Amino acid sequence: MLRPFLDVFWDEKVWLPPNTTWADVAPGPDKAVAYTNHWHVLYPIPMALVYTAIRFTMENYVFAPFGRSLGVKEGRSKKVPNNPKLETAYRADPESKKQYLLRDKIRNSDIRYRTKVTDALLFSQELKWKWAGHAARYTDDRWTSRLLKWRGPYGARSIIGLAKQLDMTERQVERWWRLRRSQDKPSKLVKFCENMWKSAFLTYNFLCGVYILWDKEWLWDIDHCYIGHPHQGYTNGMWWYYMVTSAFYWSLLLSQFWDVRRKDFWQNFVHHLATISLISFSWVLNAHRVGTLVILSHDPAEIFLEVKIEFYSITKLG
């Protein structure tokens, strides 16, 4: 069923130079050079699980103690009392997971629009004018509690409604909710460990790439990336460079779902998918010379970005 689609997608006229077929670049003992094997793009997936285990060990036993020695605060919030009904209401509220920080530089009007929360000042002014109108029209003290009912930013259920159901004061419900939200916020030390892992690996990978490609002619003259393509062989060092890099981005793609959820979650998700696709396609097409140069030039930018975030955690948040 998929064969016609695959034949069209992998058309030799699209992916290969003229007068070249997939059989010409297939690996085999009778070939003059070592051609890439397209099945090798699956190897990084189990390797990503190994990376996850290594990362867990490094973050807990190396990076976390290092961060504490630099003064990065762990910032564990006070645990809220167990209350099943409040917990159910909290988990049912989609807005409870949103975190808006001062450094995000989001306008109050934008936050109110996203969370559907009424501005307190405008709300109080509206109540004042409502009271003035009622006071002008009625003389029999028809002042009701509905004029003072406050619907807080915690989803469909109001603070007053929850307080009545649980026989608690509004203040107690608001305090529980605030502490519960603070529990979901990751500590500065967790963020620091994540960035340390990324920067440490990228630095190591960059140095290995320089070592592997130092004596390769296309590192110094990019014309050699295209001379003789696609009949270009690869070395064991290049194979490991490709597999290790691809496994790292596979691990980031998988761990993103339990890491600190940042506001650019989906942008990073697409970025990791695009990176894995580019690495895989360049390997399948035997364009590994170009691929190694792209990886080598991509890593330093990521290193400086992660180091900047670590420095910010120490100087601003620690």
Q: Does 297 have pLDDT greater than 70?
A: yes
Q: Is the pLDDT of residue 198 over 80?
A: yes
- The percentage of residues in the chain with a pLDDT greater than 70, rounded to a whole number, is 74
pTM score > 0.75 for this model? no
Kindly tell me if the per-residue pLDDT of 102 is higher than 90: no
Can you give the pLDDT at residue 93?
63
**How does pLDDT run across 122-174, given as a tens digit for each residue?**
777 777 777 666 655 655 555 544 444 444 454 434 566 777 777 777 777 77
Please tell me which residue, 172 or 222, carries the higher pLDDT value.
Answer: 222
Neighbours of 100 (CB within 10 A): 12
Helix ranges (DSSP H) in 214-287: 217-220, 236-255, 265-284
Q: CA 142 from chain center: how many Å?
A: 54
- Report residue 138 CA to chain centroid gap: 58
pLDDT tens per residue across span 229-244: 888 889 999 999 999 9
